[in-house]
Structure 1
Amino acid sequence: MRRLAAHLQSSDLVARFQRACGLYPAAGAEENSVHNHRQDDHSRQHRDAGVVHRHRSKEGTVQLSGGTREQDNNSNYTCSVSGSAENYVVRNRSLYFLFLVSAALGNEVFYISFLPCLHWNLDPFLCRRLVNMWAVVMYIGQVLKDVLKLPRPLAPPVVKLETRVAAEYGLPSTHAMAATAISFTLLLSAPERVQFQWEVGVFLAVLLSTLVCLSRLYTGMHSALDVICGVLIAAVVMATSYPLWAWFDRVQLHGRCSPVLAVALPLLLCYCYPGLDHYSTTRGDTTMILGGASGCWLGYWLNERLGVTFEPAGPLLLLLPVPLPSLTCVTFALGAARFAVGLLVLVGTRQSVRWASLALVCRCYGESPGDREARRRKEIEVPYKFMTYGAMGLVNTVLVNRLFLLLGLL
């Protein structure tokens, strides 16, 4: 078992997967591609100095953000970015873009667009279930990373396509956990509300989670062991919590202490997050997730108190599950309009509350909001990020739907 774990944790295994998918380090690619990309002495000096450079080819160069992309007759291209390890050759562009898009499904941009879109265009009930499970598995995964402290794959031999989370530890993969939790929570919850073909739902859930998991190997950010453990941990959390989902719905919407728990419990978990001897983005990311979940929790409770839950009640409950509505030009246009307006409101909320909360917290501690090191301190990072994303969750659940009513989008 120990030998199998060591094999799955191996950086060489990740590197072989990358090579099988057509992703190579630039230097290795030059040795194995009959010198399709040649460098002159001036370019090599710039590369050694860690600056952006160009490879010469018959087809010319295509500009990238922070670097260049070169294309040759074999449709390969090389990327080089100043001061980073992003220096690689791609021989299969289809897989390259597929896995980059799949990796983005575990990032902030996806969460603040997909989850609210589900609330606005399908069913707040499903969004609530997803947000709850997403917050639980992400907190468990982030804490395990900083407790176990197992390293990410080594580069070389691995090519790393992301740099923001390079300082984080590896096991488990929270991308794999989140993708598994979101996909299968939606699959298990949707039959209570809508009618759909179960086989199609299973296929889509497996496909989405598999693509995200493989993308973590392709981008060089996780080992196979990280990904497998992430999936298994998410599955265990879902299996053990599934009998409690309906009970927690009732507590969340009707409990007397629900608004207190909505704020106090996530905030306490953020402050109790395990500390490290160096700065890592895990605490800040976890605070953002729990802050958003806290705002949504408080918003759903408030909607229930105001009697505007946008959910069926009384005799209408007997009609559930209902068939999925047909997609027409009108419904598509309304859905797109809701998505655009809602996302604009959320982005505006994020920017304004972030600025105000950061200024307020920094003023309390006598620090400048522009001081990067000060923003990383727990007493500053936790409250300003929690307030920012808590406000986004509250706006998403309470104000945006009322704005849709005023604009005639519902």
Structure 2
Amino acid sequence: MGHEVFYITVLPCIQWHLDPFLCRRLVNMWTLVMYIGQATKDVLKLPRPFSPPVVKLETRVDAEYGLPSTHAMAATAISFTLLLSAPSRIQFQFEVGLLIAVTLSSLVGLSRLYTGMHSVLDVISGVFISAMFLFLTYPYWETFDRLQLNSHFSPIVALLLPLFLSYTYPELDHYSTTRGDTTAILGAGAGCSVGYWVNQQLGQTFEPQGVLPLPLPTLTADALARGGARFLVGVAAVVGTRQVASTVSLKMLRWWYGVAKNDTSARRRKEIEVPHKFVTYTSVGLVHSMLANRVFVLLGLL
């Protein structure tokens, strides 16, 4: 629940199969807590657990700092944002939802201890920070929804603010994947936000119709077949967009800055990494939020 393969498949499925309203809430909170968590790591600069004695089972993010655990933050934010938002949209037993949310967030936190990537303090801090932001922002979710969907300034702010935060991300004395990963998250959030705004302006939000909250969809053979087809088509669209946007933007930036093709370190330079990641994942967010459902309609999958 903390890697790109989860975000690029599971989060869009909330929109494609359940309710775009819920997906919008998840993306907004995920973007917020992940930026706060990533930036906090690089401001505090507290190390991950030392190895030995800890056995580390992951290496990709070994150069990143430890506190707080952004995996724990994301799992907590996603689980409990969905739990708090769903009762007004879907009929379900709240106690069961609470049990699932606690279980999922706990398992992700414990997995970070098992893989040796975080200490107990890192995980607890991540959970606490997410819980704090959920508590502080919850009263304003409805107000933010209205502004995000209806304000004429919404798409401008949605693009410029994340781009500004990406370029002003805390600098380190060594290269770390945190800036690129954070820019990717901010870009995806920006693309989704613009897509939701466009859907609202066009009057086609693809949200469930009827008296809310609605019962959970019945799992018939036809519903499963349509859902599976939507998943395959949607994932192919977002992954294909990611590959095309990444390749084209990187080639354009290499040409603009006169960087040789065999210079593998160029992608780490701020002037290349930030626009490359931002353009790539903004494109992914737009396809997920705005285009995928329209393709489903054309193919008769909705």
> Normalised by the size of structure 1, how large is the TM-score?
0.73
Is contact 1:358-1:369 (8 Å) kept? Answer: no
Alignment match, 1:353:
245
C-alpha spacing 1:161/1:246, structure 2 compared with 1 (3 Å): same
Alignment match, 1:378:
270
1:179 aligns with 2:75: yes
RMSD: 0.9
1:215 aligns with 2:111: yes
Is contact 2:19-2:208 (8 Å) kept? Answer: no
1:138 aligns with 2:34: yes
Is contact 1:300-1:397 (8 Å) kept? Answer: yes
Alignment match, 2:180:
284
Mapped partners of 2:88, 2:279: distance in 1:
33
| Secondary structure of residue in 1 paired with 2:8 | helix
Cα displacement (A) at 1:124: 0.3
| Corresponding residue to 2:85 among 189, 196, 199 | 189
| Secondary structure of residue in 2 paired with 1:165 | coil
After superposition, residues 3-402 of structure 1 pair within 5 angstroms as 105-311=1-207, 316=210, 319-402=211-294
Aligned amino acid, residue 146 of structure 2: R
Bigger strand fraction: 1
Cα displacement (A) at 1:370: 4.3
Mapped partners of 2:63, 2:109: distance in 1:
20
Mapped partners of 2:168, 2:59: distance in 1:
27
Is contact 1:293-1:390 (8 Å) kept? Answer: yes
1:49-74 per-residue CA deviation (whole Å, 9 max, x = no partner) reads xxxxxxxxxxxxxxxxxxxxxxxxxx
C-alpha spacing 1:217/1:330, structure 2 compared with 1 (3 Å): same
Is contact 1:217-1:224 (8 Å) kept? Answer: yes
Mapped partners of 2:137, 2:276: distance in 1:
30
> Normalised by the size of structure 2, how large is the TM-score?
0.98
Is contact 1:296-1:394 (8 Å) kept? Answer: yes
Mapped partners of 2:118, 2:47: distance in 1:
9
Aligned amino acid, residue 235 of structure 1: A
Cα displacement (A) at 1:308: 1.0
Aligned amino acid, residue 51 of structure 2: A
Cα displacement (A) at 1:369: 4.6
Alignment match, 1:5:
none
Aligned amino acid, residue 236 of structure 1: M
Mapped partners of 2:214, 2:240: distance in 1:
35
Unaligned regions of 5+ residues in structure 1, if any?
1-104
Unaligned regions of 5+ residues in structure 2, if any?
none
- Structure label with greater radius of gyration: 1
1:136-181 per-residue CA deviation (whole Å, 9 max, x = no partner) reads 0000000000000000001111110000000000000000000000
Aligned amino acid, residue 353 of structure 1: A
Is contact 2:64-2:176 (8 Å) kept? Answer: yes
Number of residue-to-residue matches in the alignment:
302
Cα displacement (A) at 1:364: 1.2
Aligned identity (percent) is 66
Aligned amino acid, residue 389 of structure 1: Y
Cα displacement (A) at 1:371: 2.2
Mapped partners of 1:230, 1:211: distance in 2:
14
Mapped partners of 2:32, 2:231: distance in 1:
26
| Secondary structure of residue in 2 paired with 1:278 | coil
